[in-house]
Amino acid sequence: MSFQILLNVFLAFIWMFLKNEFNGSTFIIGYILGLGIMFVFRHFFNDRFYLKRVNAVVLLLLIFARELILSNISVLMAVLKPSLDMRPGIFAYETVLTKDWEITILSNLITLTPGTLVVEVSEDNRILYIHAMDIADKDEAVDSIKNTFEKAIMEVSK
Amino acid sequence: MTAIVEILSALFILMGVFLFLVSAFGIIRLPDVYTRNHAASKSSTLGIMFILIGTLLYFYYKHSHFDFRVVLAIIFIFMTSPVAGHLIMRSAYHTGVKMWDRSVQDDLKKTR
Amino acid sequence: MFDLMLKIALLGVSLSMIGFLYRLIKGPSVPDRVIALDAMGINLIAIVALACIVMDTSAYLEAILLLGILSFIGTVAFSKFLEKGR
């Protein structure tokens, strides 16, 4: 991935030399043109085209923003409800992610999910203990963690 | 055009203030540390983000300069506040603060 | 109109500050107080941002960054202290 970015910067510099103009806008135009050339030749690289990874990161950020807003609505409902009838509890969740930074991002995302907050990560980094505001929502939360968050994080780290 | 941006900025700030009030109300009302932390770590984060976006828009239409320090602050708060919430939760559990008596399940207790 | 809105916003933020202060003084356990202190730090950032708009100057926007960093570090230090450094 770093090799591809380096190659792209190199192509942008070649464009600057060809145009004989050395300023920021020429560099940006050269970068975009180099991106186009590299997109055409993407099957000749050993690993994935790096724009795909950038796309996955942007998607992850969008998921972050959406979860933040949804979780605020759910907290609002729970706080403003006239009677406190929720049943909080801590449940264990087994994750398939292995690297440290992946688990960090996953626990940040879980903290922003409606009604859940990470309490503890086990010693071998495999089980997350999650406190839920209402244990009845547990299945829904596990489902969204498994199908949305872990998939989006794996898309970045693949 | 500036009128629209002004109304948008006012709307963002009022929404942020409303979220702050909800978070304060939740911190007073909810029964134990764990549920209070839900209110504090989620509502305050979004509230401060809304207020800072409103400030950004205000300085953009009033003085027409885009302040990158505010963008930096938004990104920093967005990254750190879930971590802070998780750390408080962990230290509360390890110092043995009791959960609310109507809590139904505690998987972490079995492993210790 | 915008000025009135700013006054209302400052009033609301101050009211929520009183709420956090109540939990800071009363809070039955220490983590309760840490939560209230963290929320008060974030609340202070909001007050600085609103004061910047009231005074119509961007000079205090650095204080926002500093307050954010200090309140985060304070929370981390408190929770490490509660766990006795583990």
Q: Where in chain A is the domain with CATH 3.30.70?
A: 50-157
Q: Is the pLDDT of residue C11 over 90?
A: yes
Q: Is the pLDDT of residue B103 over 70?
A: no
CATH number of A50-157: 3.30.70
Q: Do A91 and B104 touch (CB under 8 A)?
A: no
Distance of CA A144 to the CA centre of its chain: 14
A45 SS3 class: coil
Nearest-by-Cβ selection for A120 from B41, B105, B108: B108
Task: Please report the pLDDT score of residue C47 as a whole number.
Answer: 92
Nearest-by-Cβ selection for B89 from A72, A78, A119: A119
C-beta separation of C73 from B83 below 8 A: no
Chain B residues with CB inside 8 Å of A103's CB?
none
Instruction: Report the complex ipTM.
Output: 0.87
Burial pattern A112-137, b for ≥16 Cβ within 10 A else e, equals: bbbbbbbbbbeeeeebbbbbbbbbeb
**CA–CA dist B23, B74 (Å, integer):** 19
Nearest-by-Cβ selection for A131 from B34, B46, B79: B34
Q: Quick: pLDDT tens for A100-134.
A: 888 888 888 888 877 788 888 887 878 888 888 77
Task: Please report the pLDDT score of residue C13 as a whole number.
Answer: 92
**CA–CA dist A52, B31 (Å, integer):** 46
Q: Which residue of B has its CA nearest to A109?
A: B82
Q: Is the pLDDT of residue B108 over 70?
A: no
Q: Do A84 and B104 touch (CB under 8 A)?
A: no
Q: Do chains B and A touch (3 or more CB pairs under 8 A)?
A: yes
Residue listed under structure tokens 């498994």? A146
C-beta separation of A132 from A88 below 8 A: yes
In the structure encoding, which two tokens stand for residue B90, read together? Answer: 């962990």
Residues B75-91: what's their mean pLDDT?
A: 87
What percentage of chain B exceeds 70 in pLDDT? 89
Q: Which residue of C has its CA nearest to B88?
A: C79
Q: Which residue has the higher pLDDT, C43 or A79?
A: C43
Q: Do A119 and B90 touch (CB under 8 A)?
A: yes
In the structure encoding, which two tokens stand for residue C22, read together? Answer: 């109540």
Sequence spans of domains, chain B: 2-99
C-beta separation of B6 from B64 below 8 A: no
Q: Which residue has the higher pLDDT, B100 or C58?
A: C58
Q: Lowest-pLDDT range, A47-51, B76-80, B106-110?
A: B106-110
DSSP letter at A20?
T
Q: Do B20 and C13 touch (CB under 8 A)?
A: yes
Nearest-by-Cβ selection for C65 from B6, B73, B84: B73
